[in-house]
Amino acid sequence: MIKSKSYLAKIRSYFLTGIIITAPVGLTFYVAILFIGFIDSKVRNLIPEKYHYDNLLPIEIPGIGLLFVFILLTFIGFLTAGLIGRFIIKLGERIISRLPIIRSVYGALKQIFESVLASSSKSFREVVLVEYPRKGIWAIGFITGNTKGEVQNNIKGEMVNVFLPTTPNPTSGFLLFIPRKDLTVLDMNVEEGIKMVISGGIVTPKHKKINKNKNNL
């Protein structure tokens, strides 16, 4: 009876280990397949039916649409790097600037993409601890830049913009303006911080403690 229980415990342990190993890989592939299929279907709808790559190729190859989008965006980036491309962009921005509602949306989206994608940007480069929502309780936040403009002019001291994400959906959250001296900068990178937020603290990055005795020597 005892042996049968031990065998069942081992089987249960092996089963759970199998889930832990295969579930992340399987879900990752599943999400990737859904994303590739979504892009392929959208690109296919934009191309005339007689020119569909499905009809031109002997077999259906997933990811052709995604490759097409990548090449198209790269080509557009190449064109806009030249004088003619810059002229066209400036002309388009002048037209958009005359449209009341659209210009506000375009301006906000342009600033967000330039801040996030620019190689020289410091956005989302530091993970910090914020004492929130009250003293003694701490939350993980991400510095998105230094506070500027009217907000900084109305507050004494150096302020920074901190995005405080929610769990388990880090795309929503709060924008806080906090004095830099009140923040505790963590050693973990942004990816590790996001994983910790999404998992609700289950996934915690390893941290090597500094030997204080060595520093005092």
Provide the token pair at 171. Answer: 């795309």
3-state DSSP call for residue 163? strand
Query: pTM of the predicted model, to two decimals?
Result: 0.55
H helices present in the chain, as ranges: 2-46, 53-56, 64-80, 83-97, 100-117, 149-153, 190-198, 212-216
Torsion, Cα of 16, 22, 28, 30 (10° steps):
-100
Contacts by residues 80-88 (CB-CB < 8 Å, ≥ 24 positions apart): none
Please report, in tens digits, the pLDDT of each residue of the chain (217 residues total).
556 667 788 888 888 888 888 888 888 888 888 888 888 888 878 777 777 766 777 677 778 888 888 888 888 888 877 787 788 888 888 888 888 888 888 887 877 776 666 544 556 778 999 999 999 999 999 998 889 999 999 988 899 999 999 998 888 899 999 999 999 999 998 889 988 998 888 888 887 665 544 444 4
DSSP state of 162: E
